[in-house]
């Protein structure tokens, strides 16, 4: 992991084959940092905690579906 210190209006650039990603500090105050992100159109940007929530919801949905399938199969065999 690269760790950098940045001040307001300073940024970093991530060079990529499909275009560059630019991250700029918009504001830093009281333990919070606001970032601006410029990325190529095809690049998806997600908050990490949102991705974790989506993965967990998908996992729960699969488990729920498996339970329904098991009940249907048990009903056929019984």
Residue 18 reports pLDDT greater than 70: yes
Q: Give the Cα separation of 39 and 48 in Å (integer).
A: 17
CB-based contacts of 38: which residues, under 8 Å, 6+ apart? 21, 22, 23, 24
Structural tokens at position 11: 């940024």
Chain segment 32-54, per-residue pLDDT in tens: 999 999 999 999 999 999 988 88
pTM over 0.75: no
Instruction: Place 1 in a pLDDT band, splitting at 50, 70 and 90.
Output: very high
Kindly report the average pLDDT of the chain as a whole number: 90
Percent over 90 (pLDDT), the chain? 54
């Amino acid at each position: 992991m690269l760790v950098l210190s940045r001040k307001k209006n300073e940024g970093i650039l991530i060079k990529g084959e499909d275009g560059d990603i630019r991250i700029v500090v918009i504001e830093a105050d009281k333990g919070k940092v606001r970032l601006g992100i410029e990325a190529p159109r095809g690049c998806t940007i997600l908050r990490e905690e949102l991705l974790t929530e989506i993965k967990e919801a998908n996992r729960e949905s699969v488990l729920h579906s498996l339970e329904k399938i098991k009940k249907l199969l048990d009903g056929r065999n019984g």
